[in-house]
């Protein structure tokens, strides 16, 4: 009798063991607790210090929807984030899912540190890429595969002082505006005696790659080879520099006297300033009427695009759970509502009902331009040593502004410098 009882116990234990193995393997994930719950680590910079409570609410909502997954959040300030992330990845201790801004996304994707999410997206019945702005969604693709999920974005628009436009008898900017239209308006608004200028945009690399794109130019070809010394780019640089040195519709560095362009705009000294939508709150109490519009183009439109997204570590054995959280952060309507309610950047979703509260806030009246600009976004060049290339570009542009070098010579120098930096 004892032998039969022992055999029965062994049989039951064996069957339970097989069931347990099958349950674990079917999800392709490693469970961490007796309850079969998978724990993942999410590493973020954008939540701290102002949105930690909002992120906690988001995590709670995700865990309620996915009771078999627990999310442990780790937050680090932006200035230290990428150094620490790189150290963790190099040490074989990468977080399961982590935040990446677009500027750094390509670098991480190209080094094989990110998981390819393409198949999981295709098989996910709950995630439809059409929920997202397609340009923003595709921004996190590398070599045709999806290596990240866009979660939020911001961009740059044309901010204009309606009072100065009215005083000069100039029509407000429209979506069809060209460089010529903006220059003509700026010339009428500029009032030298009262230190009022028609328009301002920084003469720096961050502005230049967008202006070049507005003229059909680019600084690198598809293979990453420098192409800065060409006619389209020269016309773009001349457009930027001539507004300061030739037509005088933009203030020179000396005329700005160390003031920020935002200060000049709030002082009523700029008809137009090209800046980011993060300035909406700073300008809301301006003493004059203002609004925003799409950027003017020359041969085509082009708008800056700044984005944050989530990527899954290529080394994690919890890819499925990590992907689910990344997809939730990207396209969940609940997350989008929390972001809009708390002004925590903008979700890249297309659901107008959720975005309506944001669109109804004024000023500016034309908040729809924020989303329309996504149709013509331009991304920063994805090359190594971007910071070094950006620094040398700004140094050369300063020589052009000071009259120490022609714009032609500046671009020839930059062509040589870019080639040297990329060969290092």
| Model pLDDT for residues 380-392, shown as the tens digit of each residue | 887 777 778 989 9
Q: 394 is written with which tokens?
A: 């700004």
Least confident interval from 16-20, 243-247, 329-333: 16-20
What per-residue confidence (pLDDT) applies to 104?
A: 84
Domain ranges of the chain: 38-154+305-377, 203-236+385-423
Does the structural domain 38-154+305-377 have CATH classification 3.40.190.10? yes
Cα separation, 352 vs 340, whole angstroms: 12
pTM reported for the whole predicted model: 0.78
Look at residue 224 and tell me whether its pLDDT is greater than 90. no
Cα separation, 422 vs 392, whole angstroms: 13
pLDDT band at 311 (very low <50, low <70, confident <90, very high): very high
What share of the chain in percent tops pLDDT 70? Answer: 92
What per-residue confidence (pLDDT) applies to 3?
A: 44
Q: Tell me if 312 sits within 8 A of 323, measured CB to CB.
A: yes
Reported in sequence order, the residue ranges of 102-205 that DSSP labels E, i.e. its strands, are 141-142, 145-146, 149-154, 156-161, 197-200
**Mapped to the 3 state alphabet, what secondary structure does 356-385 carry?**
HHHHHCCCCCCCHHHHHHHHHEECCCCCCC
What per-residue confidence (pLDDT) applies to 33?
A: 52
Cα separation, 325 vs 330, whole angstroms: 9
- Helix H or strand E segment including 329: helix 319-331
Average pLDDT, the chain: 90
Integer angstrom CA distances of residue 222 from 206, 322, 369, 384: 19, 32, 29, 14
Look at residue 234 and tell me whether its pLDDT is greater than 50. yes
């Amino acid at each position: 009798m004892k032998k039969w009882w022992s055999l029965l116990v062994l049989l039951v234990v064996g069957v339970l063991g097989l069931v347990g193995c099958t349950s674990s393997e079917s999800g392709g994930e490693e469970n961490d607790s007796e309850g079969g719950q998978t724990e993942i680590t999410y590493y973020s910079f954008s939540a701290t210090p102002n949105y930690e409570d909002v992120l906690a609410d988001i995590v709670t909502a995700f865990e309620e929807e996915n009771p078999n997954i627990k999310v442990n959040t780790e937050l680090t300030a932006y200035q230290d984030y990428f150094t620490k992330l790189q150290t963790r990845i190099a040490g074989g201790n990468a977080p399961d899912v982590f935040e990446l801004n677009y500027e750094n996304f390509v670098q991480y994707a190209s080094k094989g540190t990110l998981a390819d999410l393409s198949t999981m997206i295709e098989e996910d019945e709950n995630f439809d890429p059409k929920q997202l702005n397609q340009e923003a969604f595709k921004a996190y693709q590398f070599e045709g595969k999806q290596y990240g999920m866009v979660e939020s974005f911001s961009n740059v628009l044309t901010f204009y002082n309606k009072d100065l436009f009215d005083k000069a008898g100039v029509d407000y900017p429209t979506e069809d505006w060209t460089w010529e239209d903006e220059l003509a308006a700026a010339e009428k608004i500029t009032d030298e005696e009262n230190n009022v200028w028609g328009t301002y945009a920084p003469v720096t690399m961050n502005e230049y790659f967008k202006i070049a794109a507005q003229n059909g130019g680019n600084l690198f070809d598809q293979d990453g080879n420098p192409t800065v010394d060409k006619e389209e780019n020269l016309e773009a640089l001349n457009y930027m520099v001539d507004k300061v040195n030739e037509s005088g519709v933009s203030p020179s560095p000396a005329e700005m006297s160390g003031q920020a362009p935002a200060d000049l705009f709030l002082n009523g000294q700029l008809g137009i300033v090209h800046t980011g939508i993060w300035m909406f709150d700073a300008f809301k109490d301006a003493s004059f009427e203002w609004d925003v519009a799409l950027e003017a183009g020359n041969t085509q439109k082009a708008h800056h695009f700044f984005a944050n997204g989530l990527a899954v570590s290529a080394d994690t054995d919890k890819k499925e759970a990590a992907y689910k959280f990344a997809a939730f952060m990207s396209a969940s309507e609940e997350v989008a509502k929390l972001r809009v309610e708390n002004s925590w950047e903008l979700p890249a979703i297309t659901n107008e009902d959720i975005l309506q509260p944001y669109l109804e806030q004024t000023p500016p009246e034309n908040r729809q331009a924020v989303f329309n600009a996504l149709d013509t976004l331009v991304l920063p060049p994805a090359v190594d040593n971007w910071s070094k290339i950006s620094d040398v570009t700004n140094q050369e542009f300063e020589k052009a502004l000071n009259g120490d070098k022609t714009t032609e010579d500046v671009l020839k120098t930059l062509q040589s410098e870019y080639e040297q930096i990329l060969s290092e």
